[in-house]
Structure 1
Amino acid sequence: MMKWNIAVIALLLSACSSQSEVSYYQLPPVAAQSNNAQAVHLSAGKQLWIESVTVADFLSGPGIAFQTSDVKYTVAKNNLWGSSLDQQLKQALTDNLSVLLPGRVVSGQLVSGHDADVLRVTVTGFQGRYDGYAIVSGYWMLQSDNKIIRRPFNIEAPLQKDGYDELVYSLANAWHKESVDIANALKN
């Protein structure tokens, strides 16, 4: 009977020690946030409707992606996004462009009855890479008046330290950089 108890205790201890802690991550705000609510009249400028931010299939799950070779990717099982990546990217882009484009209404929802530019973003890469870089890539399309602009982006940001915290901060900074590039294109 004593051997049986020892075996059960050993089994329970080994099961407890083999489970890793699960960590959840959210993209931190990078842009300077405006604390003052401002009334913006739609007649002052067009609305910018961020219709969609879509991510590649391998990025759509809860795990943070990591590229282990030129052709191989893995998705973390214990380092997860706190909410869906496409939602986080759309919210960060909306927040960033709202600050970067004062005088424009930037929204994830269309205000009916008003003329709006429409922005669609496709993210094909948002991962760490085996050589110590954070990768943010894809393209965006802007429909304005009777024209469509399509621009690719590919940002490779070096990681300063190891770890998922550093990776998430680097990815957020790279996403902010792309927001600045989008804002500059919209101003021209």
Structure 2
Amino acid sequence: MPRERELILGGQRSGKSRRAEQRAADWLALDPAHRAVLIATATAHDEEMRERIARHRADRAQRVPGLVTVEEAVRLGPALARHSEPGTLVLIDCLTLWLTNLLMPAESGSASPALAETAHAGLLHALHGARGPVLLVSNEIGLGVIPMGREARAFVDALGRLNQAVAGACDRVTLMAAGLPLRLKEPG
């Protein structure tokens, strides 16, 4: 896994984050010189989300004690480039929240598709240039009914395009369902 890139997809509570965390724990156990950095994209705009983030931090600290967490809600490409180095696994959790931050920002309330496209290109550039292994977590939300609202449909389309582009740049793609992995793409 020296420079492997893996996209882990799944629905909500499918086990995708747990799978990524286990991969990070396995990486850390391989060599005492290994490091692992989680780039968390969630933002807390209400009390329930603040509690959820705090619970995730506490749970992660127990499951993967050596995992360093960095919070970056928007500038994901530069954060990946900054933290990627040989011997360091970078885990990005999650692309869905990152895209939400770009397309539906809570502060300004106005979507910026142009900013999202630029950020998307920057992430792919950083992913291609990563010097160590990278795990990316994203939701697969295109399996359900077509949303009624224009904005919701635009978001589903944008996430689908992002997931396809990232999957194309990854060596491995795993779909999680009910805590079980299904390999969609393998190296080689």
TM-score, length-scaled by structure 2: 0.26
TM-score, length-scaled by structure 1: 0.26
Larger helix share, 1 or 2: 2
